[in-house]
Structure 1
Amino acid sequence: MLFLIHLLTSAGLAWSLGAGHLGGALLAFALLYLSARLLGLAVQRLGRYARSLEHGVGFCLWFIAQVFLATYQVATLILARRIEVEPAVLAYPVTRREVDKVTLLGTLLTLTPGTLALDYDEEQGLLYIHTLDARRREDVIDILIELERRLLAWLDAGKAEGATS
């Protein structure tokens, strides 16, 4: 809800100042973020919102870079003279077993070229993932761990201290 208020206030501020274009809206968004960050020192909820926004922007930029990197890797595999791949289904033990978080993780994995979330076993906490090239399984698992760590850091950034979901 705070993000929606932030977005609408930014658009209104940019429009009222005569900067109703993307640059003006981004500047207004950044100024309102800085205000929320400063006011967050006094109001905890604004501080949590600012932390959540920081983690969200960081996660989105990191994930976009990962998608471009995976796209490049898949294109390299496809355009090679000899296609040497080792497709595999991996069972990845998730850190948190809440279905909504696992669904989001699986969706993000499916958006990444070369991977596909297949199934989730709630009892064992395993997410089954098909990967196009698993010759270096350690690298695939490292990316999965990093994706889950960053996603959970973003989702937990806006929570009150000591709150659990």
Structure 2
Amino acid sequence: MRAFSHNVLLTIFWMLVTESFTLANFLVGFFISFLLLLLARSLFDPTSRRYFTLAWKLPRFVALMFWEILLSSLQVARAVLSPRVRIRPGILAYPLEARSDLEITLLANLITLTPGTLSLDVSTDRRVLYVHGMFMDDPKAVMSSIHHSLEKAVLEVTR
């Protein structure tokens, strides 16, 4: 967090020097400060260096989430508008690779955000997440999809 606080302080300094207190100037200053700190990242301790890797991973994570929400929204819309009922609801027990409270909570919320799925509960030993889905024709495919897209992205951002 030291790197982030340095970034914000340098951005405030930038805004004071340029005497412009607009959102656009804040974003420019934040970007310039980030680049300066990126060049000086060897001066930070290893825990602060995580800020720089997270800055590259976070936009990919957000883009993946929008993509997953778009795809599942289209799948739900197609099922709702289709004259044939193709909905096969079910509940599956998804084995978690995530261990921390943050990772499990983030994954459960992301699953719930995607249309057609809902996180129900976490086992008492925190190793299994129970998920309800509208399309459970192939539970292994659903588990594989959760593992390879959502959980992988969550673990990449949090670890």
| Common fold by TM > 0.5 | yes
**Cα 1:15–1:77 shift into 2, 3 Å:** farther
CA distance in 2, matches of 1:55, 1:114: 26
Q: How large is the RMSD of aligned CA atoms in angstroms?
A: 2.4
**Cα 1:42–1:126 shift into 2, 3 Å:** same
Structure 1 counterpart of 2:57, which letter? H
Unaligned runs of 5+ in 2: none
Matches within 5 A, 1:112-151: 112-123=114-125, 125-145=127-147, 146-151=149-154
Instruction: Say yes or no: does 1:33 pair with 2:28.
Output: no
Residues 21-45 of structure 1: CA deviation (Å, up to 9, x unaligned): 44x4333322222222211133234
Unaligned runs of 5+ in 1: 157-165
Structure 2 counterpart of 1:121, which letter? S
Identity of aligned residues (%): 27
Could you tell me the TM-score, scaled by structure 2's length?
A: 0.81
Structure 2 counterpart of 1:144, which letter? I
* Paired residues of 1:40 and 1:48 also in contact (CA < 8 A): no
Structure 2 counterpart of 1:140, which letter? V
CA distance in 2, matches of 1:4, 1:136: 47
Residues 33-64 of structure 1: CA deviation (Å, up to 9, x unaligned): 22222111332344221112222222122112
| Offset at residue 12 of structure 1 (A) | 6.1
Structure 1 counterpart of 2:79, which letter? L
* Paired residues of 1:85 and 1:132 also in contact (CA < 8 A): yes
* Paired residues of 2:121 and 2:131 also in contact (CA < 8 A): yes
Query: Equivalent of 1:88, from 87, 90, 97?
Result: 90
CA distance in 2, matches of 1:64, 1:29: 24
Q: Which runs of 4+ in 1 moved over 4 A?
A: none
* Paired residues of 1:67 and 1:112 also in contact (CA < 8 A): yes
CA distance in 2, matches of 1:95, 1:126: 9
**Cα 1:36–1:143 shift into 2, 3 Å:** farther
More helix per residue = 2
Aligned residue pair count:
155
**Cα 1:15–1:86 shift into 2, 3 Å:** farther
* Paired residues of 2:99 and 2:126 also in contact (CA < 8 A): no
* Paired residues of 2:98 and 2:151 also in contact (CA < 8 A): no
CA distance in 1, matches of 2:13, 2:133: 45
Partner of 1:42: 43
